[in-house]
Structure 1
């Protein structure tokens, strides 16, 4: 039996964040066992914690979706660090150092768990054909697009600035047109709604793989990519809070801070289920 936790990430309020399944002490599990369990949980990601192979790291994590393994993802990073610490993990230094497929990731512990966003692997303009596909998939008018660019830190995100938060909420995507797109959209709240929601912007993240389409509840990688893009262009301030998931019954909060040349993505994480897995 292996220790198991299910963690709600990016929300301190029960059931409003993005759930993550975490299995501890998995050094003896095979790839097939990990893949089978991740498929069975049917969550967007399941992580498996084990001893690190790099002496600089505090633990190693492998991140699996229902269809394969990822080198890095945002909410699994925060959720895994939370689970490891809660289970008694003691970092070598002030921050937690996570080893994953993308290398070593620094996770700071205060004021809440947060990771330094990995560099964008692709940025800049998209070609005209792709832009047209995205406009069609989002079912918005071309004139509604404030800005649109590659903001890819691994998963393949294209970022779309729709100006206002209400424009983001009003998006009704054309699911059939999404094909293999991964699109993160963002818009700003006015001052009255900032005070009401405790959030400066609204974010939604849509993804498809040619067969399945989904909207992610709260997305660390997409928020990281949007922040790197829009803080970089001066379109967003160095510090802000994003709300995500409201259209699909969630209410996550992602805290963004650009400092010392890095963009930090932070959020709450709370264990909701704790037990063991018979593998």
Structure 2
């Protein structure tokens, strides 16, 4: 017997349709087996599709499951931000418009608190406080191996900052990424994964996050690209999980002062889908004490899905 589910299409980390990172949100997915959810995500063929289910804890707003075209993920930023913005609009628009509201989501990495606000333009902004802090992983691929896998020269990788040199590193906030500092935006623009070599260098890591301090928007801290490995797509217009983990990169190489810091990350320009991620981090006693990411989301369309 067939079943019909409502779905919504959103663009996340943008205030304009047809930019940012596209997302499918499927409602009322309770009772649908994992293989069918995976097939639906493959059908949408976006970087991620998020499914909304009834929460196990009744104080929570919803439970979420996130799938790429090839696999389920424990956490991803743009599906969480997009789901929170959509739920705020569809279940609490009056409260959202007046004062903002909190959307509480169950996920495989724990409870996720998202604060949603409605701007004067009518676009919803959602901010996620990540439960915990990113963790370092190893080993880190060498500069030479990364350069060969990304169509770059070894001299293109790394740059000097006020507190020292940025070098490649590996951090995880849910999924793990290798973070590759690139000396210039020109080098970042010409970067391309090399078939075979890219997968060999990354191994089990799902992506390489390349970043440079040379930005298009002077207000942005970094200009980034994320090349995916084994996720069913090659490049991501905006990568929230990597932005969360980048807080640890910023702490390690920039040594920010005590207190709260706000950074803006621009991504997706090489794909014609410019995105803007707000990253907030808290430093206490010289260590990273908390991380939040935020962004706007706009609704593009909706429909019914037959499974």
TM-score, structure 2 as length reference:
0.79
CA deviation after TM superposition for structure 1 residue 120, in Å? 5.3
Q: Is the 8 A contact 2:111 2:131 kept in 1?
A: no
Q: Specify the SS of the correspondent of 1:189.
A: coil
Question: Post-superposition shift, 1:169?
Answer: 2.3
Corresponding residue for residue 172 of structure 2: 152
Query: How far 1:118 sits from its partner (Å)?
Result: 4.7
Q: Please, which of 10, 14, 17 is the counterpart of residue 11 of structure 1?
A: 14
For residue 304 of structure 2, give the secondary structure of its aligned residue in structure 1.
strand
Partner of 1:114: 127
Question: How far is 1:214 from its partner?
Answer: 0.6
CA distance, structure 1, for counterparts of residue 181 and residue 11 of structure 2? 28
After TM superposition, the structure 1 stretch with the greater mean CA deviation from structure 2, 141-150 or 10-19, is 141-150
Number of aligned pairs?
272
Structure 1 spans left out of the alignment, 5+ residues: none
Distance of 1:226 and 1:164 partners within structure 2: 18
1:253 to 276, 282, 287: 276
Structure 1-normalised TM-score?
Answer: 0.86
SS of the counterpart of 1:44? Answer: coil
Kindly indicate whether the alpha-carbon contact (under 8 Å) linking 1:175 and 1:213 is maintained by their aligned counterparts in 2. Answer: no
| 1:1-279 matches, cutoff 5 A | 1-89=4-92, 94-110=101-117, 112-119=125-132, 122-123=135-136, 126-127=139-140, 130-146=142-158, 147-179=167-199, 181=202, 182-189=207-214, 193-195=216-218, 198-209=219-230, 214-234=234-254, 238-259=261-282, 261-279=289-307
Secondary structure at the aligned position of 1:205 is classed as: strand
Structure 2 residues not aligned, in runs of 5+: 120-124, 159-166, 284-288
Runs of 4+ in 1 over 3 A off after TM superposition: 117-122, 124-127, 129-132, 163-167
Q: What is the CA–CA distance in structure 2 between the aligned matches of 1:65 and 1:59, rounded to whole Å?
A: 20
Deviates more, 1:75-84 or 1:103-112: 103-112
Structure 2 SS opposite 1:36: helix
